[in-house]
Amino acid sequence: MLARLPPPPAWHRELVSHGVTGTNGKTSTVGLLAAALGTLARPVASVTTLGSFLDDVELPAPRTHAGVLQSLNEGRLRGGKHAVLEMTSEALAVGYAQAWPCQGAIFTNLSHDHLDAHRSPEHYLASKAQLFMALPPGGYAVLNGCDASSALLAEVLPAGVRLLHYGVASRGEPLSPLDLEAVEVRLGFWGSAAKLRSNLAGMPEHLSLRAIGHEHVENALAALCGAILAGAEPQAAALAIEQAAPRPGRFEVHGTGPHVVIDFAHSPDALARILGSARALCQGALWLVFGAGGKRDKDKRLGMGQAASRADHVILTCDNCRDEDPRDICAALLAGLVGHAHTAVELDRERAIREAIGQAGPEDVIVVAGRGPERELDLGSRRIPLVDADVAEAALRAR
């Protein structure tokens, strides 16, 4: 169990470790930071909820603490100097910042999620703060200057920790002076582009990404700040970030008419942002197929329903219902969709995706949210093989 983690092995000092925490964007930011740190030394070991990697190659390591150590040590043995880890609030709450100390820490954002695992929003933030409180003198912190929680994290930084703030206007007005800012963001099905404003020397004027969405521009700025504080040359780090492939299931686009977007969004904030990005690209109607996980943070379901109301057509369905009745979950989501003119319920997730694609027009965009690249649907007593992207591709071929 995480609560009984041993102290770090002595060889951990041979790696410079970078932790990424926040509600949304952790996995993508880890990938971008690892790509940028590759300009300093390869391979870069990284660990996320998707698995463990050396550069872009996934390692066959178990998803346990022992598996994490195995992956990080593999990077070290192959000559790697850097490791990037996705730090969840649950892990940090039981001492992961001590079990694997980091020299750098990045905060993406904070919004309603995982309160089933935490006593309160305050405990949720305090858990994430452990990563920053454990930083050593000479370490670094990168904070989202447009997120109110960053001010509290800045207060708990130990003396001697270097600090940079980044921000994108779509999250709101800056609450701290920004060291790196995207002042203009353009989206297309080709990716994202931003004009940069910075007080950091050598920073490029523009940044283009293969990933789509304002939130991915945020992730890129966070990763770029972290890489620079780790010693990377700004232009080289930016180029590596531009060339990095998006993580699977993060605004993953299929088809051309209509476009289908597969995304992992499963919190009110993430859902609202993915729909905002999809709306910016949509020439017709915006569809949403989604549900909410069973036995997890029931209080966020009202907010998810409210976020879903941004779509023109909504189909509620099962999303890892576990052993909770999916009809009860959909009823809670419907409470946030009161008055929405085009809402339907189809509990069979595969059928719901097919129905949305079958009914959509060629200029429409269909967002299938909640599961991203997951390969099994968790129904409690049984697990059904189901990949949203595979269902979407089959439905698009059948149009």
Q: What is the mean pLDDT of residues 214-223?
A: 97
Task: Kindly tell me if the per-residue pLDDT of 367 is higher than 80.
Answer: yes
Omega cis (within 30) before 121: no
List of E strands, the chain: 16-21, 45-48, 51-54, 57-58, 82-86, 104-107, 140-144, 162-168, 180-188, 191-198, 206-209, 252-254, 259-263, 286-290, 313-316, 343-345, 365-369, 376-378, 383-385
Judged by average pLDDT, the poorest of 107-111, 180-184, 203-207, 325-329 is: 107-111
Looking at the structure, do residues 9 and 62 belong to the same domain, yes or no? yes
User: How many independent structural domains does the chain possess?
Assistant: 2
Looking at the structure, do residues 357 and 288 belong to the same domain, yes or no? yes
Question: In the prediction, which pLDDT does 297 show?
Answer: 79
- Mark which of 185, 217, 243 sits at the end of a domain: 243
Distance CA 379, CA 362 (A): 33
Looking at the structure, do residues 135 and 256 belong to the same domain, yes or no? no
Judged by average pLDDT, the poorest of 1-5, 47-51, 71-75, 289-293 is: 1-5
Residue 349 belongs to a domain with what CATH number? 3.90.190.20
The region, left, alpha or beta by phi > 0 then psi within -120 to 50, assigned to residue 202 is left
Residue 2's pLDDT band (boundaries 50, 70, 90)? very low
Which pLDDT tens digit goes with each residue over 77-117? 999 999 999 998 888 887 899 999 999 999 999 975 544 54
Question: In the prediction, which pLDDT does 94 show?
Answer: 79
Q: What is the mean pLDDT of residues 120-138?
A: 86
Looking at the structure, do residues 265 and 198 belong to the same domain, yes or no? no
Which pLDDT tens digit goes with each residue over 144-189? 999 999 999 999 999 999 999 999 998 889 999 999 999 999 999 9
Looking at the structure, do residues 262 and 122 belong to the same domain, yes or no? no
Looking at the structure, do residues 91 and 228 belong to the same domain, yes or no? yes
Q: Which residue has the tokens 């949403």?
A: 288
- In the chain, pLDDT over 90 holds for what percent of residues? 85
Task: Kindly tell me if the per-residue pLDDT of 340 is higher than 50.
Answer: yes
- In the chain, pLDDT over 70 holds for what percent of residues? 96
Question: In the prediction, which pLDDT does 114 show?
Answer: 44
Looking at the structure, do residues 59 and 116 belong to the same domain, yes or no? yes
Residue 177 belongs to a domain with what CATH number? 3.40.1190.10
Tell me the backbone φ, ψ of residue 382, rounded to 5 degrees: -150, 155
Residue with the larger pLDDT of the pair 171 and 39: 39
Q: Which residue has the tokens 């100097």?
A: 81
Looking at the structure, do residues 153 and 256 belong to the same domain, yes or no? no
Residue 58's pLDDT band (boundaries 50, 70, 90)? very high
pTM for the predicted model, two decimal places = 0.94
Domain that holds residue 206: 2-243
| Mean of per-residue pLDDT scores for the chain | 94
- Mark which of 185, 219, 243 sits at the end of a domain: 243
Looking at the structure, do residues 118 and 173 belong to the same domain, yes or no? yes
Question: For residue 343, what are the β-bridge partners?
Answer: 314
Residue 4's pLDDT band (boundaries 50, 70, 90)? low
Looking at the structure, do residues 194 and 55 belong to the same domain, yes or no? yes
- Mark which of 195, 215, 243 sits at the end of a domain: 243
Measured over the CA atoms of residue 33, residue 273, residue 342 and residue 399, the dihedral's sign is negative
Looking at the structure, do residues 281 and 316 belong to the same domain, yes or no? yes
Residue 1's pLDDT band (boundaries 50, 70, 90)? very low
Tell me the backbone φ, ψ of residue 301, rounded to 5 degrees: -65, -40
Task: Kindly tell me if the per-residue pLDDT of 291 is higher than 90.
Answer: yes
* Residues whose CB falls within 8 Å of the CB of residue 190, separated by 6 or more in sequence, listed in order: none
Per DSSP, the three-state class of 133 is helix
Looking at the structure, do residues 233 and 116 belong to the same domain, yes or no? yes
